[in-house]
Chains A and B, each alone.
Chain A
């Protein structure tokens, strides 16, 4: 429903033609020999949209009686003879009054007294009815209806909704009169962020895409977040004995120890210097290439320790090597630079290696 949009259909076709020109330009280059230009007839066949100002509407006509015939044959099985059926789809017709046709606002939308919102209560533009039927109906065979059949069906629906009399013949000439009697014609609101493009003040449709929500994130003096927890009052904790013993053995939920003699958790013994370094080595990925007592990709730690044993500046040299990476000392496979490690960590690793890379 591009109700108030400005660019004309002529503009759309011109745009399509411009694309064609661009295509032929492309044909010379990258995509030579692929595809062909769409013909005018093809564009005409694809370009079926009907706008609220009836641009794009193909000339034609259809009467209420013709519409009834088509309706009974192709539409009534799902929508009901009077568009009233609520079985397959929600009702198309119902809930509108003669006053609604006068005012252009459907009162039962406000009062909420209609059993269900029907399509005719909501639709603001008759072009939407036409376009939708033309484009998508019948659901099993869309675009199988002729242009005049669509006119007739729209006329029939408008007659069911008592918008037009029974002898009405809908044409492209008088469809604007039908629009002027649509029950919800004044019910469409464009002052919201769902419309793309410029604001209404600047010639667009909506409000420029401003969201309707007004929520802002709290940055200072915020309320403290409430944490929801589930717990028993202290006096009731032992009502069923020690809860920790009431569990089934499987599952993630563990009962609280309410025996009153819960052991204070023992802090794990601090790791030895060697164990810390060993853990650091495997955490830092050293162990992927270096074995403690064997060569993997790079040399084993025992080999490194043997090679640099007794050299006074070995530690400094190795720290620099680990940090910057190196190649050649142990063969062609390079050691990547390990700049992500802290200097202190590298130093302790090197010390650990030189001292024999013991696990404990």
Chain B
């Protein structure tokens, strides 16, 4: 299991701003280690954000995204105390979901 994401979600005037810092290696599969062998690819492929169970963002990630990706987005709706969950799946089938309360 990967390390938890850091998520901040704040609602203001009916718009919720979400910032997510994921903790992931995001290996491209192109890099070689010190002995010259390819480092196997390991990266997030799909990401989804749900507001009270309803999906507000779906994204496909690839190898062009940096290590420990940072993602910020806004969506309409959301109020203080609502639940916001972000989850990702990587190419090895590893999953992670983290949930915060909007403030």
Which residues of A are in contact with B by a Cβ distance under 8 Å?
72, 80-82, 84, 94, 115, 160
For the complex formed, measure the closest distance between the CB of A153 and the CB atoms of chain B, giving whole angstroms: 16
B2 CB to closest chain A CB (Å) equals 13
B68: nearest chain-A partner, CB-CB: A94
Tell me, rounded to whole Å, the shortest Cβ–Cβ distance linking B27 to chain A.
11
Cα of A86 to Cα of B10 in the assembled complex, Å? 22
Q: Which residues of A contact B21 (CB under 8 A)?
A: 81-82, 84
Q: Max chain B CB contacts within 10 Å: which of A81, A84, A94, A115?
A: A81
* B6: chain A residues within 8 A (beta carbon): 82, 160
CB neighbours (8 Å) of B8 from chain A are: 72, 81-82
Compute how far the CA of A297 lies from the CA of B6 in the bound complex, rounded to whole angstroms.
Answer: 89
Q: Which residue of A lies closest to B25 (CB)?
A: A113
Chain B 1-57 residues near chain A, CB threshold 8 A? 6, 8, 10, 19, 21
Interface of B is mostly: strand
A1 vs B54: C-alpha distance in the bound complex, in angstroms? 51
18 interchain pairs, CB-CB under 8 A:
A72-B8, A72-B10, A80-B70, A81-B8, A81-B19, A81-B21, A82-B6, A82-B8, A82-B19, A82-B21, A82-B70, A84-B21, A84-B68, A84-B70, A94-B68, A115-B66, A115-B67, A160-B6
- Name A's interface SS: loop
Which residue of A has the minimal Cβ distance to B69? A84
- Please, which residues of chain A bring their CB within 8 A of the CB of B66? 115
Interchain CA distance A160-B6 in the complex, whole Å = 9
The residue in chain A whose Cβ has the minimal distance to the Cβ of B17 is A81
- State the CA gap A94–B21 with chains docked (Å): 11
Closest to B8 in A: A81
Chain A residues in 8 Å Cβ range of B10: 72
The CA-CA distance from A81 to B18 in the complex, in Å, is: 10
* Residues in B lying within 8 Å of A, measured CB to CB: 6, 8, 10, 19, 21, 66-68, 70
Q: How far is the CB of A48 from chain B (nearest CB, A)?
A: 31
Give Cα A324–Cα B75 distance, bound, in whole angstroms: 98
A146 CB, nearest partner CB in chain B, Å = 23
**A72 CA to B6 CA, complexed, in Å:** 14
Closest to A95 in B: B68
Shortest beta-carbon distance, B82 to chain A, in Å?
A: 18
B72 nearest in chain A by CB position: A81
Q: What separation, in Å, do the CA atoms of A84 and B68 have in the docked complex? A: 10
Residues of A within 8 A of B70 (CB): 80, 82, 84
Write the nearest CB–CB distance from A285 to chain B, whole angstroms.
73
Q: Taking the nearest CB of chain A, how far is it from the CB of B30, in angstroms?
A: 15
**What's the least CB distance linking B21 to chain A, in Å?**
4
A300 to B73, CA, bound (A): 94
Give, as a whole number of angstroms, the nearest-CB distance from B77 to chain A.
Answer: 21
Nearest chain B residue, comparing its CB with the CB of A71: B8
Of all chain B residues, the one with the shortest Cβ separation from A93 is B21
Complex interface: chain B residues within 8 A of A72 (CB): 8, 10
- A196–B66 alpha-carbon span in the complex (Å): 42
3 closest pairs, A vs B, by CB? A82-B21, A81-B19, A81-B8
Contacts of B67 in A (CB 8 A): 115
- Closest A residue to B31 using CB positions: A113
Closest chain A CB from B17 CB (angstroms): 10
Q: Which residue in chain B gives the minimum CB-CB distance to A111?
A: B34
Q: How far is the CB of B23 from chain A (nearest CB, A)?
A: 9
Chain B residues within an 8 Å CB radius of A81? 8, 19, 21
In the complex, the chain B residue whose C-beta lies closest to that of A83 is B21
Provide the residues of chain B in CB contact with A84, threshold 8 Å.
21, 68, 70
Distance in Å: Cβ of B13 to nearest Cβ of chain A = 16
